[in-house]
Amino acid sequence: MEKDFSLRELNTFGFDVKARYFQELKTLDDVQELIRNHEFISCRDAALSRLNGNTSHILILSGGSNILFPDEFYDGFVVYPNLKGIDILDENAETVMIRCYCGEVWKDFVDYTVSLNLYGLENLADIPGKVGAAPVQNIGAYGAEVKDTVYQVHTIDLATGETKIFSNEECNFSYRNSIFKNQWITHALSQRDTTGYPVGTRHALSMIFAVDFVLKKHGELKLDYGNIRNYLIANNITNPTLKDVAATVKAIRAEKLPEVGVVGSVGSFFQNAIVTMDKYLEIKELYPDVPSYPVEISPLPAVARDVINTEGNNKHKNVISSEVEKSHKSIKIPSGWLIDRAGWKGYRENHVGVWDKQALVLVHYGGGKPSEILDLMKKIQDSVYKKFGIEINPEVNIVASL
């Protein structure tokens, strides 16, 4: 365990945030040792004893490619799971099941599966981060989401050391969301389980240590999202292969996104907006060139709906947030287009700004503070809502202040 540990190299924004305690985990035995650590126990018990189930005293940090610390000091315990390994578990004439451990770099894992000519992850090439974080966010790009290939997720409880397997269905995947990201919504304010902790907090300290994927030996390529098909045509690729698609996605991302480690960012900072059909038609009448994609979203579990009904709905009725159950006639509008049309593309203010090649990306040029990104985020959100009547929400995970 280390104290006052700098997280500069563990968050792709590159902010020099320090953590009071930091522990890297390379094996499951390391986890068992961690849960006997006195400092960890103190932070864990402080987190789990809160009636509201807030576990902000402990942070499980993966690749740091989708996280923003609001302050320059995290007064808690950062757990850094870094278990490595890739195993082929099963294979038949149609599919291959692969287990990948949480510490493997996501883009390297995708390259590995593409090299084996396995279908399913090629559109997710070059997304930064680690494998363990992929199910949390249900990462997605170019018409694909990781939920489409996840078979099950292996977790370990940092309070008890017990392991648990979540099936794909139990992960409750939705747009940029899963039970691992959204499970705190199910907490009960007064009920406690047999251990004395509030109901709903028990899995809030679960750490993903491995993910099992099922990939296909034969499949259909997804070419109709973004510029994939146009790029292939421009490069005279008329009969694209799996490797062609992965290479195309990499090339498009390189043209649009800042290089990780050179300019600080988390890639797409905002989720794409999902609006009602009526709202979309209203926007289209004013802006005929608005890009859009139909989306079908599964309803939230009943317990989540109950919490929403008792605690309030989204303040903007035309916007369908990730917490509110959506109509099956919803439309996705790229938030990058909204931000661009609101005049923010290429904007810079001191140490931070909006990337000049992709308005969905907020950047840190160095020497800045997390608060500068937060201030810029709020300005953009207000501007987009004022112009379009659409609320855009951050895709990045913003760590709760202690």
Would you state the pLDDT for residue 49?
A: 67
As a whole number of angstroms, the distance between CA 120 and CA 343 comes to 36
| Residue in the structure block whose two tokens are 């207000």 | 382
As a whole number of angstroms, the distance between CA 50 and CA 228 comes to 48
Indicate the burial class of 310 (C-beta count within 10 angstroms; 0-12, 13-18, 19 or more). Answer: exposed
CB 229 within 8 A of CB 106: no
In the predicted model, what is the mean pLDDT of residues 288-301? 71
In the predicted model, what is the mean pLDDT of residues 242-262? 93
In the predicted model, what is the mean pLDDT of residues 108-118? 98
pLDDT digits (tens, 9 = 90+) for 344-379: 999 999 999 999 999 999 999 999 999 999 999 999
Catalytic annotation, residues: 176, 268, 395
pLDDT digits (tens, 9 = 90+) for 196-219: 333 333 345 789 999 999 999 999
The angle, 0 to 180 degrees and rounded to 10, between the axes of the packed helices 106-115 and 242-256 is 150
Cα-Cα-Cα-Cα dihedral sign, residues 87, 91, 95, 97: negative
| Residue in the structure block whose two tokens are 């945030």 | 17
Q: For residue 216, how many other CB atoms are within 10 A of its CB?
A: 14
In the predicted model, what is the mean pLDDT of residues 161-176? 93
As a whole number of angstroms, the distance between CA 94 and CA 91 comes to 8
Would you state the pLDDT for residue 401?
A: 65
Rg (CA), the chain: 21
Q: Beta strand 352-354 with 362-364: parallel, antiparallel or unpaired?
A: antiparallel
In the predicted model, what is the mean pLDDT of residues 37-66? 78
Q: Give the pair of three-digit tokens for residue 350.
A: 């001191």
Answer yes or no: is pLDDT of 308 > 90: no
| Residue in the structure block whose two tokens are 């740091």 | 64
Mean per-residue pLDDT over the chain, rounded: 86
Answer yes or no: is pLDDT of 175 > 70: yes
- For residue 26, name the pLDDT band (cuts at 50, 70, 90): very high
CB 20 within 8 A of CB 57: no
As a whole number of angstroms, the distance between CA 133 and CA 177 comes to 11
Give me the residue spans of the domains in the chain. Answer: 264-398
Dihedral angle of Cα 183, 185, 189, 192, to the nearest 10 degrees? -20
Would you state the pLDDT for residue 181?
A: 82
Range in 83-87, 181-185, 198-202, 382-386 the model is least confident about: 198-202
CB 268 within 8 A of CB 395: yes
Q: Domain 264-398: give its CATH code.
A: 3.90.78.10
Q: Beta strand 144-145 with 362-364: parallel, antiparallel or unpaired?
A: unpaired
Q: Beta strand 144-145 with 73-81: parallel, antiparallel or unpaired?
A: unpaired
As a whole number of angstroms, the distance between CA 350 and CA 363 comes to 11
Answer yes or no: is pLDDT of 170 > 90: yes
CA neighbours within 13 Å on the CB side: how many for 294? 3
